[in-house]
Structures are given as C-alpha cells and as structure tokens.
Amino acid sequence: MYARRRRRYFLLMGVCLTLFVTAWAVVRLWSVTAAIAMCVVAAAIPPVAAIVANRRGPEDRWWDESGDPESDRWWKELDRRDRR
C-alpha cells in the first residue's frame, strides 16, 4: 500500500521535473508561450502528488487502531471519559 503510493508520487514528480526541463531546454526555442504553459502544468503537479502520497487507502489502518483488543478497549474507555 505504501510502496504503491510512493511509486505514484515519484512518477508524478518525475513528470513535473521532465516538464520543467523540457520546457526551458527545448520547447522555448520554438515557443515561449508553450514553455510557459508547460511550466504552469508542472507547477500544478506537486500539490496533486502530495495528495496522492498522503491519501489513506481502504486497506490502511487508522493511527489509533492497534489490532490489540485490550488496547483498543482501553482507548475507547478513555475516549468515553473525555466526553463526560
């Protein structure tokens, strides 16, 4: 689950870097407007990559789920005390 998200993150960031480098090393020779458009697209990719990398999947566990029934019961009891 984590490896898949990491691969997607690095793929998106690789596309981002490729767009920036290609825009200013090659594309600007023919069209500065196209190079700027490529950079705008590349600038939008890092926030998307961060969202993809930090998204919790259906198979991920929440931080407070330990898997230990006794520990889970103890935490639930503490949560009920805080609400009173």
pLDDT tens track for 52-71: 888 876 666 565 566 677 87
Which pTM value belongs to this model? 0.66
Extents of the domains making up the chain: 1-57
pLDDT tens track for 2-17: 788 889 999 999 999 9
Sign of CA dihedral 64, 65, 68, 72: positive
Q: Cα 60–64–68 angle (5° rounding)?
A: 90
